[in-house]
Structures are given as C-alpha cells and as structure tokens.
Amino acid sequence: MEPVFIIATLVYMLSCACYFGYLFFQKPIFQRTAVGLMAAGFALHTVSLVACGIRAGHFPVNNLHETLSVTGWAIAAVFLAFFFMYRLKVLGIYAAPLITLVMIAAYQMPRPMSQDPQLLKSWWLAAHIITIFLGNAAFALACGLGMLYLLQENAIKKKTRGFFFSRLPSLDLLDTTGYASIVVGFSMITIGLITGVVYAKAIWGRFWSWDPKEVWSAISWLFYAALLHKRLTVGWRGRRAAIMAIIGFGVILFTFFGVNFLLQGHHGTFTAM
C-alpha cells in the first residue's frame, strides 16, 4: 500500500471529524480546519494517483481498489470546486464522510490486474474515465444536497428551530446548488459517453455493443436528461427535484456496482460507465 494513499485517507478522516465538530458546535474554526484538511487530503491523493499512474504506465483504474480511489478523488475535487463557488459550508458534512468511506473501502479492496494494461493506454479512455468520474461525483453531491433539502424542508414545516434548522442554509440555496451539481454532472457524463464510444470504436471496432454497462450508462444519461428537461419546461424544483436527485444517484450506484457484480460485460471494474 502506497504510504501517500494512507496519509491522504487519514487526512480525509480528520477533515470528516472536524466537519462533525462544526455540525454540533457551530464553531467557524472547525469548518475552516475541515476545508483546509480536505484540500490537503486532495493534494496528497492527487500525488498518490499520479505516482500510481506513472508506475503502471496508464490511468490507474485497473482494479476495484484503484477505481474506488479515483472515485474518492473525484468527489473531493467536485466538492472543493462547489465549496469555493457557492461557499456552502454545510455540504462538507455530507461530502467528507462519503469520501472517507470510499477511501476506507478502497483500502480494503484486493489489487489484482482486472484488464489488459494495453487497453488502458489511450488518451480517449483517460478522457472518458475522468469526465465520467467527475460527473458521477457531481451527481453524488446533488444527492447529498437533495437529502439536506428534505431535512431543512421538514424542519421548516415543523415550525420549530430544531437541530438542523439553524445548521442548514436556505431551501433556495440548496435547490440552486443541487441544480448546478446536476448540470455539471450531466455535462461531464455527456462528454464521457462521447469519448467512450470513440474509444470503443478504436478498441472493439464498433461504437455500441449493448454491453450491460453501456445500456445502464445510457439509462442514467436519459434519467438526468429528463430531470433537466422537466426543470426547464415544467419547473421541477424544490422537493420533487431533491427526491429525483436522490433516485438518480441510486441509478448511478447500480451502474457503478450492480452492473459489475451482477451482470457480465467487457467493461469489468475499471470504469464507472
């Protein structure tokens, strides 16, 4: 196990602990420390992935350990970008534990070679994987924002200043940020699917082969396309949009894990879509 990966995981865990401190005690020092640790963990994680890629000679997604590691990195990247864009301090209370759990899971995974390394030496594949993982990370944050929206809405309906009421931002900010997350995620997976079909043509001689992961990737894309269409045309927002963001991420999780473990295909475990 690469020491930098372990150190990055420990730093993420410290960030998670600080976010829980911020949640319960509402002291700004906890939040500032948590963000700083998240950025430090992300930097160390990036160094770990780059070193792993250089060592392997290709993008490091050749087994479930590497795939989960890249997943954690992507969530951290998108979270930091959204934090600096929207200053939504509370989002880390969802993102930090999620990243920590993904990294711990990655640590536990075996590291066999699941694909021919020659198949991974392609810029098209690298572009495909990076955009897909970033897109899925944005959808993960949209799911978390949907959960926070429902919690805050419930607190408002009760008309009591409960635990979450004073700790969560306005419904409008949560809804706007969730929508932005879905727009970013949809844009990324659209690029990812385009680069993926180009790569498939170069490797397998065809753009589409009805592989289970390809089918479920298309289903995921259509789901979010429909969600965005409904928001723009019918005005889906608020509670309905929050619930759909949570359901959509469930579809993403099945595409990521369910297809790999339950269905047979040529993608294997090295890519999320």
42-82 pLDDT, tens digit per residue, is 999 999 999 988 887 777 887 888 899 999 999 999 999 99
pLDDT of amino acid 225: 95
Question: Could you tell me how far CA 134 lies from the centroid of its own chain?
Answer: 6
pLDDT above 90: residue 133: yes
Question: Could you tell me how far CA 95 lies from the centroid of its own chain?
Answer: 9
Mean predicted confidence (pLDDT) in 129-150:
95
Q: Which of 96, 80, 83, 76 minimizes the C-alpha distance to 20?
A: 96
Dump pLDDT digits (tens) for 221-252. 999 999 999 999 988 889 999 999 999 999 99
Cα three-residue angle 81-143-129, rounded to 5 degrees: 60
Give CA–CA dist 132/191, Å, rounded.
Answer: 8
Mean predicted confidence (pLDDT) in 29-52:
96
Mean predicted confidence (pLDDT) in 187-204:
86
pLDDT above 60: residue 16: yes
pLDDT above 90: residue 136: yes
Q: Which two tokens stand for residue 50?
A: 């780059």
Residues 6+ apart with CB under 8 A from 117: 56, 57, 58, 62
Token pair 């954690």 in the structure block, residue: 72
The answer to whether the pTM exceeds 0.85 is: yes
Cβ proximity of 53 and 69 under 8 Å? no
Q: Which of 216, 224, 228 minimizes the C-alpha distance to 253?
A: 216
Sketch the domain layout of the chain as residue ranges: 1-116, 122-273
